[in-house]
Amino acid sequence: MNRMRRLPLPPLLLLALLAPHLAGCGAREEPQQGGPAGDGTPQRGGTVVTGWTTEPLGINDLIFPTTAVGSEVHFRVFQHLVEEQPDFAEHPATFKPQLAESWEWSDDHKVLTFHLRKNLVWSDGVPLTAEDVRWSWQAQVHPAVAWDSAYMKEHIRDVEVVDPQTVRFHFTRVYAKQLLDANEGLILPKHAWSRLPFEKWRENGTWFFENRLAAGPFRIESWTAQQEMVLVRNERYWEKERPYLDRVVLRFVPDASSLTTQLLNGEIDFIAQVSPADAKRVRERPELQVIPFWSNLFVAVAWNHSRPLFADAEVRRALTLAIDRRSIVETLWPGGTGRVGISPLLQSVWAHDKTLQPWPYDPAEARKILAARGWKDGDGDGLLDRGGKKFSFELLSNAGNQARNDAAVMIQQQLRQVGIEATPRILEFNTLVADTRSGHFDAAITGATIDTSLDLSGNFHSRSIQDGDNFFRYSSPALDRLLDEAAGQKNIADAAPLLHQIEHQLHRDQPVTFLWESQRLAAINRRVHDARPNLQSAFFHLQDWWVSPRP
């Protein structure tokens, strides 16, 4: 998958807003290959209409927060040097050429050389060269641009133009994520966008739309705010036979149910994400299909370690034992479309230690642990207390995410059985972000994604308490050392034993209680062929999509 980038809001929380229903139901369905169009040979032409509940914030992703639909557009209009593949179930993700046709490392692994394709041009006919690559890096690290993911470039000391088709990345150190860091960020048009100084970028967001160009398979033809965006074939795209489609329409409809109705009525061909209830309706229609796949998201209860209630790892383990997570999963994600969470390294990822088992539901053991830590019902009111203080706290979740709100109520009922009072509280999303970021919370149900670098430092390293996404304030010198050693490996595959150790320590410490992993559902009309939505991208290889004529 393309690497998830650090956002101005914690990823643990942002996904609560961007992906409220990451689940699917029913048996696995494979994307249709071929179909009613004769022998299944791709046909050139036609339009696919897609439905989204949000719209992009702009077309320059260096100055706007990342959103799911924004990334889908950006990655079709611009491109990376190489394309990360969604093949990381059994091994580290591989890469295929995109703008760069080949690449190699120096002997000391501190210089990475990319060789660009020789037929690259922007949609206005100007050649795309190594100068664009260097200038894009300069934009990414410029303080006035203030790109949210500039930290990914901190170990790149220079990007050298060797010749128009050759560019070298010079690193200050050897570490596992060098290729990922070099590749992060799209290549932008220097000849057009350098006319606006970096210092003026953030105050002129619309300027980039007025000066829009493309190097990917599509270019933006039009954008009507709160209605639709239209992508059309980029005739100067380097892959000469692609894309097959003439146009892709992104229709913006805030209400998800209305999008499903339009899909059922034949007005929309593709929805990137539907709820389980809507998926049932889709499956009943023979001309439609549902494509489920495991998400790269885990959902957890984050305990605020700066609060005395949650400072003790044994108490946090007791809390996990007192929560019937399997029952929660079966209620919220029926039919095997969800599973109990174990660790931040998801069970669908190659590096996950398959010998690790989730903590069971064991309220009796939870009571025993809590009693050993001094938590007993001293006054007979049914609630545990210690030193005159009740074991009572607020459990936050965000408005608009019914699954997490429902989970909070179930957790409240389950913890009450062992004498703990958890009071669910639903907050507006921005309020939830502010409260958790500032540490003004007890516990919160949140979601987080992992990327294929498998670097968990951003969420679990002590240094990330102040400048990262460790908003629950977990600190372990032993884990810090493991995280640093894993991130410092030359190859990600070499970090596997360290990653297993990290998983086991997090399993023991329970800095968060892992609730579930779930499937994500896409819905599509069968007239659309060779669509392969996955956790990397709903529009993955959009240039290969093609359509049969409407009946």
Query: What is the tens place of the pLDDT at every residue in 55-73?
Result: 999 999 999 877 789 999 9
Mean pLDDT of 433-453: 88
Note the pLDDT of residue 490: 87
Q: Domains of the chain by range and CATH? A: 33-292+520-547 (3.40.190.10), 295-519 (3.10.105.10)
Mean pLDDT of 120-147: 98
Pair 543, 234: CB distance under 8 Å: no
Q: Is the pLDDT of residue 15 over 50?
A: no
pTM, to two decimals: 0.79
DSSP 3-state assignment of 399?
Answer: coil
Total residues belonging to the chain: 551
Distance CA 508, CA 496 (A): 19
The model's pLDDT over 216-249, given as tens digits with 9 standing for 90+, comes to 999 999 999 999 999 999 999 999 999 999 999 9
Cα pseudo-dihedral 241, 247, 248, 253, rounded to 10: 180
Residues of the chain above pLDDT 90, percent? 75
Q: Please, which residues bridge with residue 235 across strands?
A: none
Q: Are strands 392-398 and 421-427 parallel, antiparallel or unpaired?
A: parallel
Distance CA 545, CA 439 (A): 46
Encoded tokens for 353 = 């230690």
Hey, how many other C-beta atoms are within 10 angstroms of the C-beta on 42?
A: 15
DSSP 3-state assignment of 532?
Answer: coil
Encoded tokens for 182 = 């070099």
Q: Are strands 228-233 and 247-252 parallel, antiparallel or unpaired?
A: antiparallel
DSSP 3-state assignment of 200?
Answer: helix
| End-to-end CA, the chain | 35
Note the pLDDT of residue 39: 55
CA 427 centroid distance within chain: 22
DSSP 3-state assignment of 151?
Answer: helix
Pair 130, 164: CB distance under 8 Å: yes
Note the pLDDT of residue 2: 37
Note the pLDDT of residue 428: 86
Q: Is the pLDDT of residue 25 over 60?
A: no
Note the pLDDT of residue 35: 36
